[in-house]
Amino acid sequence: MNRLVPRLLVVYGASLSVLFGVALIPDYAALIQAVEQRQEQAELRHRLNVFAEGSWFLLANLIAVGGLILGTRPPER
């Protein structure tokens, strides 16, 4: 039971990382397109979306790393 929680954290963090990483890709492409076409409103909208999705991506990675750290600690006596 004591090793279940870190494993769940790693799986949860990795799956969220994949989810937010996949959501980030099309919005980043839309941002590049809006910048090239000089559409200011669309550019700001996509910049905000890329920032938010990137923040969630980093948070998911922190959850996964936290699970790895908990999983590699020696068992308490």
pLDDT higher for 28 or 1? Answer: 28
C-alpha of 21 from chain center = 6
Residue 1 has pLDDT above 70, yes or no: no
Summarised one tens digit per residue, pLDDT across range 13-48 is 999 999 999 999 999 999 999 999 999 999 999 999
Confidence grade of residue 73 (pLDDT, cut at 50, 70, 90)? confident
Token pair for 71: 């999983």
Q: What φ, ψ does residue 62 adopt, rounded to 5°?
A: -65, -40
Which amino acid is it at 61?
N
Summarised one tens digit per residue, pLDDT across range 2-16 is 789 999 999 999 999
DSSP 8-state symbol, 77: -
